[in-house]
Amino acid sequence: EVQLVESGGGLVQPGGSLRLSCAASGFTFSIYNMNWVRQAPGKGLEWVSYISSSGATTYYADSVKGRFTISRDNAKKSLYLQIHSLRADDTAVYFCARDLVVRGMAGFDYWGQGILVTVSS
């Protein structure tokens, strides 16, 4: 059974940092591209970042570019999102999500349960 489990969220002060993790199981993690998506309270979905299966290619939403860093450790079957310079508008539930197609893109077929990041003083 495919599982994605996020961790590392919590309450952080503005300007602070956080590292989110996503532990994958039930599939060959190393051959799938992965993503982070967030959803602010009561709002819609916002794609945040993408990393290719090898980790060689990354993309970011303009709203997080320069502050967020996506990475992965295929040996540990884990995806990460390092977040710096947190702002109030980064408050959201953060989901990790798997691309449907092996080494390709076609929508996100598996999602983690989400982890809440709250930025507040």
Residue ranges binding other proteins (CB under 8 A)? 35, 37, 44-47, 50, 59-62, 95, 100, 105-109, 111-114
Distances (CA, A) of 87 to 16, 18, 26, 99: 8, 12, 35, 28
Shortest gap between Cβ of 7 and other proteins (angstroms)? 16
Task: Considering the complex, state which of residue 19 and residue 45 has its C-beta at the smaller distance from other proteins.
Answer: 45
Report the alpha-carbon distance of residue 97 to residue 111 in Å, rounded: 4
Shortest gap between Cβ of 111 and other proteins (angstroms)? 4
Task: Considering the complex, state which of residue 28 and residue 113 has its C-beta at the smaller distance from other proteins.
Answer: 113
Report the alpha-carbon distance of residue 7 to residue 58 in Å, rounded: 21
Report the alpha-carbon distance of residue 94 to residue 18 in Å, rounded: 12
Shortest gap between Cβ of 13 and other proteins (angstroms)? 28
Backbone torsion region of residue 53, taken as left when φ is above 0, otherwise alpha when ψ lies between -120 and 50, otherwise beta:
alpha
Shortest gap between Cβ of 103 and other proteins (angstroms)? 14
Task: Considering the complex, state which of residue 27 and residue 111 has its C-beta at the smaller distance from other proteins.
Answer: 111
Task: Considering the complex, state which of residue 66 and residue 75 has its C-beta at the smaller distance from other proteins.
Answer: 66
